[in-house]
A and B are shown apart, each in its own frame.
Chain A
Amino acid sequence: MNSLATELATDAPAVIINGFFPTLNLKQSLERVVSEVIGIGDTTGTVADLASLIHGYFDSKTREVKEVYFIVHNIDGPCLRKHQAALAVLASSPNVHLLASIDHIEAPLIWDSSTTTRFNWAWHDLTTFEPYTVETSYENFASDTTEIGPRGVLHVLASLTENTKSIFRILAEYQIAESVMGDAGTKMPAMAYSAYFAACRDQFLVSSELTFRSQLTEFRDHKVIQSRHAADGTESVHIPFDATTLGTILESME
């Protein structure tokens, strides 16, 4: 598909969007299109506004750029699924030519009647048996910066003191015990702040609440633990992993 952009579609600007990219921001992509292709700088607005702007530009008779080609790989990609209406508005302009690919078997479900009419798809089955090397290469990409993997936790713990590791171990063991005894499938068991502090103090891991709180802040900064506030104001903390992963982490720590 990229060869269509580079070799055949040489009479007009071509925009290639990799829908499989895990941190694709369509808003930024459209802002780039507006500033580099159309030439309007400093645009603001939602994705829908930008799409309407581009559509309006290519409908006007006094435009400099006559046509544009959009090549969207994996229009059913995770970051593009909620922007189909905006893409449909783009595609409905007769001077915007859209070529897209899908891989998910249930991809047509992302379009409703009005978006399907606007897109006006003509389908082609281009099954090649090429491996999905590029699309699957983003598997370990940290797309969501609020999460940390088990490996990250081990890495963080390896650089901490024994006391800190023990504090972590107390919470992990409590969580494992709770999930074994409690129902499966409920929310992750969390330990109440006061109970956690009491347990750590009993084992002489912390001397005062201030040090305990600073320790928890350090964990929170490394995204090792998360805290919740209940409706009555009590705070509870938990590690965002399930029991099995926690068990693996504890074993690897020793």
Chain B
Amino acid sequence: MVDAYKPMDAFDSMTESTFILKPSFTPKQSTTKKAGVSHPPAFNNEGFVPLFQGKEAEESMELRRKLFSEMWGPLEQLLVDTEEQVNQVGVSEVCNYVNCSYTRIESVEKGQLDQPFAEMATAVAFAGVNTGDHSKLFESLQAQLTAGGHHVALLESQYCTSLASMLKCMLDQILGSLDEVQRPTGNSRSGVLAGAKTIAYDMGLLKLRWDEAVGSASTCSSRVVVILQDFEGFAPMVVDDFVRIATSYCYSVPIVVVLGLATSYESIHQSLTKASISMLNVEKFNLQRSKECIDAAIRSVFIRATDMLAFGAEAYKSLLDQFLLYNFSITGFVKKLKFAAMDFFYAQPLSVLVSMLQCSAGGVLSVRDYPICLSPEQAELIRMQKSVQRFLEQQLEETGDRDHFRLALSNDEYLQKTVLPQLLRRLVSFRAGYCLGIDFVVTLQDMVPESLRKPIRTLHYYGVGQKFDDCMHWKALSAVVRRMKVPDMEQLLAKLSAVADIAAIVDWDFATKDGLDIPQLLQQSRALLSNPGVLIKPGNADSGEPSKRIRTRTDMENRPFLLFDNSSSDQMLSALDQCCANIETILRACLSPYQSAPLYEVFYYKHSLLLDTTFSAQPRAAVQAALGKTSYYIDCDCCKATTCDSDDSDATSEDAADQRVMSSMHDTSIAYRLHQECGRMINLYDWHSAFSSVVEGESVKARGSSPCQRAIQARFMRAVEEMRLLGFIKSTQRKTDHVIRLTWGM
């Protein structure tokens, strides 16, 4: 028993809650001090540690670090540029609107009836539910508007809790922008304004400064743009007051308001009064392009194949689910991608093989000529991969070269100089073939009805996750191809040939399964269509009526064009048939599963569980597993149940073990299991009785002595307090000796 309370460490205090530690070591001192400390210098090398239980060479670790930074920097920039490019369309539309706003008022000003009020130009921009990406989007809008000569204020709801703070935020930015414009003229008032603390932030000040800045110019093309980045976050009263005030000044100061909406136009109706809305001249814009963004990102990262970063089926699904099921956030997608890349270089010893690949100017991956120096552990790890074993056995079958096989398995130098480049060439060619296959599918989709078209992220998911013959989408596309008439088929073949010509694949032997030469096959198909007489077999007479060509059900399913096409001859139809089969063969060859490529275990990232647990928080599941199924965390012998019935399967015996409450378990775990049997209100005395009976009942049998009542009571109180801290129960004032149960299930 601990008599006196002893602090756990120096930061456990009853009076202080915050501690500040200054770095007390200079860099020189820290190295000498750390020499005596047994923990690893984890923050050196940005967290990279030697693998193979510390036996990895320093150069190898350094190489992994270098490769990661070389790979991630350009990739991140590429993703940012892609996002900006996709958003550019929407942003330009809003900028054009701002440029053209109020011009009609200026031109009809003279000699026309003056309206008693002026409608304020308002752009309602639907930015989507991915609120995490909005800051980049609106900052780029702000930058573009500022470059166009306008004065922009970007307001966020967290800083604009009242009308006064909102006006202050807005005027700070706009007056600052006006001052910058005026600074070349030497306006000395700007210094006073910046330092003065007693400025009345109101629109009159804005009008004054605007008149000074614009001067006597009759027309002014610049506008005052106020962007409310997250409209739903602003208090309705604040926005309503702001709109009322701004509309009364918009005749003298051309104010344009941009409202960033995450949901729908309904939120404007809910926040603003009818009077305010009637003073707005609203134009709607759609800035929500997260799906186009993600498609562009996936194309540039996974389909272009300029880097070897590839995801296996489950990991890719985890990436997509994060995007599709959560909030369409590109930031979340990039975050997961970065984590996967980090995990690849941190934890995979064979990630050093990436240094053997290089990207040429044409965006094609190839294998470098100089081999990498492998350590014995790395070489052994390569040999242990199933895909490498399968590759070597295949080579042995094809060539019969037993010496090559023996050297590959025994000689490290032979492995790294000869076998490894062969493996990597195959893998690179396979990737190129896959990318070509996806390009073919995209080309084909342009010629099918809208309903059959799938976005590229889904195509990639089918490509990595499903076999060709099992995928419904590939089958649907094949069926459409089979229904094509001759002109459509010719057009399709021409397009596919053009795509194949652009793809710079050199080694057709390895690019596809069975070494299919795709350009040649496409050429043959085109030739066949233009000259179908080649295919005619001697002895097959023309069958005459088109309807008689359909003899079996298979004919009907596979060749429905036979039914519809009365004009073509038998030869042409056979040629069409052959072309369809060729196209199907091409697609099947290109889109073969990645498990057929060598070294796929290294280069296709597969730790989807790690990605899910790192980015999808499940604290409740973790705590409930820790308390309810403690064996997952502590695999101790004392809590393993002895099953009486040996015929039970493992699953049921494990469930039975989990449900039994044993005295050897952790106190909080016992309390948790007992509380699960209770209803909404738990009587603390009953709970305590059950707890003490569990604890002392079995321990009497086991050890012949039971802990004393006070000890059991203390343990129970500690367990109940921990349950309260975790959030399973809370105290109630209605019944003093009861607690309320807060969680159900599990």
Contacts and interface: CB of A to CB of B under 8 A. Distances in A.
Interface of A: 2, 5-18, 21, 23-25, 28-29, 32-33, 36-37, 48, 85, 102-108, 113-114, 116-117, 120-125, 127, 129, 131-139, 141, 184-185, 242, 244-245
B216 interface: no
Contacts of B158: 48, 85
Contacts of A121: 615, 617
Contacts of A133: 8
Contact of B727 (A48, A106, A141): A106
B726 A105 contact: yes
Nearest to B27: A11
Contacts of A103: 725-726
A131 B622 contact: no
A184 B8 CA distance: 44
A58 to B, nearest CB: 15
A121 B618 CA distance: 13
B722 A136 contact: yes
Contacts of B21: 5-6, 13-16
Given A29-B18, A107-B619, A123-B613, A10 B11 contact: no
A13 B23 contact: yes
A32 B734 contact: no
By size class, the interface of chain B is 35 or more
A121 B617 CA distance: 9
B395 interface: no
Contacts of A6: 21
Nearest to A117: B132
Nearest to B718: A131
A187 to B, nearest CB: 12
8 contacts: A2-B9, A13-B23, A15-B19, A23-B17, A24-B18, A114-B230, A124-B614, A244-B736
B52 interface: no
A14 B19 CA distance: 8
Given A12-B23, A29-B18, A244-B736, A137 B725 contact: no
A127 B626 contact: yes
A24 B17 contact: yes
Interface in B615-672: 615-617, 619-620, 622-624, 626, 633-634, 666
Interface in B276-328: 327
A129 B624 contact: no
Contacts of B743: 105
Contact of A136 (B617, B623, B721): B721
Interface in B223-275: 230
Interface string B726-738: 1110000110100
Contact of A21 (B17, B666, B726): B17
A9 B43 contact: yes
A132 to B, nearest CB: 5
Contacts of B19: 15-16
A109 to B, nearest CB: 10
Contacts of A114: 131-132, 230
Interface string B708-732: 0000000000100110011110000
A225 to B, nearest CB: 18
B564 interface: no
Nearest to B634: A129
A137 B230 CA distance: 42
Interface string B2-30: 00010011111110011111111100001
A104 B335 CA distance: 25
B342 to A, nearest CB: 10
Contacts of B230: 114
Which 5 A-B residue pairs are closest in the complex by CB-CB distance? A117-B132, A21-B17, A105-B620, A29-B18, A104-B727
B728 A105 contact: yes
B619 A105 contact: yes
B622 A125 contact: yes
Contacts of A129: 626, 633-634, 666
B617 A123 contact: yes
A17 B509 CA distance: 62
B721 A139 contact: yes
Given A105-B743, A122-B614, A242 B733 contact: yes
A103 B626 CA distance: 12
A188 B14 CA distance: 34
A245 B619 contact: no
